[in-house]
Every structure is written in C-alpha cells, then in structure tokens.
Homo-oligomer: A and B are copies of this chain.
Amino acid sequence: MEKEYKRPSVTVDVTLFTYAQDCLQVLLIRRGNEPFAGTWALPGGFVDAGEPLDKAAARELSEETGMEDVYLEQLATFGDPGRDPRGWVISVAYIALTGADAIAATRAGDDASDALWFDVNDLPPLAFDHDLILGAALRRLRQQLQYTALGFHLLPKVFTLTDLQNVYEIVLQTELDKRNFRRKIQSLGILEDTGDLQYGDHRPAKLYRATATGADHEITRSPLP
C-alpha cells in the first residue's frame, strides 16, 4: 500500500500548576491570534517536525511563559473532531508542576499577549477544549497526590512541612491531621532536613528539600495520609 494519508496538525498543551496564596493555580495565556484571540488558553503550540513531544512541551512552556525546569508529565492526547476550528488538530496534553518561587519569571512570550495565574476554582472561559483538558489535568493531579509524594513539586525547592500539608489539603480538598501527615511523609524518607530555618512571625519552621533519590514517582501504598 503506502497510500497517502491525510495528516493532522499536532500541538502540545501544558497545564502548569502551582501553589500560591493558599490556592492551587493554573497558568493561562491570553491568545493573541485567531482563533479565540483574546480568550484564555493553556500554554502550548505546534510541535516541530521530528521534535520529541516532551521537548516540545518544555519548549512551548519556556517560549510562552519563561518557565524552565518544571516537573513535566504526559497526561493524555485529545483528538476529537471539532476541538479546533482550524481543522484537524490533535493535542498531546501535559501536566506540569512548579514552585511559586519560579513564577516571578512568568512573562508573556512572543506569540501570546499575556500570561496570568488563575485560581482553579475561579477560571475564565477557555479556548478550544481546554476546559476539558484542564479538568483531566486536575483529576490526574488529585489522584497523583492521593497516592504519591509528588506534592512538593508545587513548592519551592525548600519548604516547610506546614507548606507541604497545605498543598495536600488544598489540592485534595480535605483537612489533614498535622501529626499523622508529618509521620507519614517523613516515613517515606524522601525529605531531607536542610538544617535551615524559616523565620517568620512566630516560631521558626524547619526547612526541607526533596531528596534527589527517586523522589519522582515514589508511591505510597495507601492514600496519604
């Protein structure tokens, strides 16, 4: 055979989460071009010929928002007809996590007129089927945090246990017991005491960092906590 098949355009779209101001936030871009010019969308864009998908996701994120070195994970691929008015466009969606310290770097990129963080509970209307993608990303994030210790990716490299607990509480929408949470997290052995303290209004808190050793993908057999 080797007959000619019609080819779709392929994009990557990235749902980038962070934890800031006591809420879970997503980075959105206000589109500068048609279609959907002026409406908010997930950062993303066309994959270059022969470019690995992971690279494309990282590149688009970097180009459109200036974010680098975030935790990236493939989520799913969306290809329903009609999802893009330009025609047949398939999108490989990624989920990304970053610490709020990095968001200062956030800036609007070349082909986007604006970039802003939104509370996941207060989102504007989104372009394309990005509400669908974002919903899937959120479900995945919740599921991940329920069984893994990846939550620290939403925090700066160095953080307190209270910060980490807040992340879990906000994302999972539950209240957690402080002592149980700490016991559990520490029993996983993925945190390292930096020896530093965070001074604030009251008693200083110990600062931790995630140990490099397989900190990714670690799994807890039972829901935390």
Contacts and interface: CB of A to CB of B under 8 A. Distances in A.
A52 B33 contact: no
Interface string A95-129: 00000000000000001000000000000000000
A92 B74 contact: no
- The number of times this chain is found in the oligomer is 2
Given A8-B49, A50-B81, A221-B222, A2 B33 contact: yes
B80 A77 contact: no
Interface in A30-55: 33-34, 46-53
A189 interface: no
B2 A50 contact: no
Contact of A79 (B33, B46, B80, B92): B92
A9, A77, A81, A223: residue with the most chain B Cβ atoms closer than 10 Å: A77
Given A5-B9, A7-B10, A47-B8, A90 B221 contact: no
A219 to B, nearest CB: 9
Closest 10 CB pairs of A and B: A7-B7, A6-B49, A50-B81, A53-B79, A5-B46, A77-B77, A77-B92, A52-B80, A50-B88, A7-B9
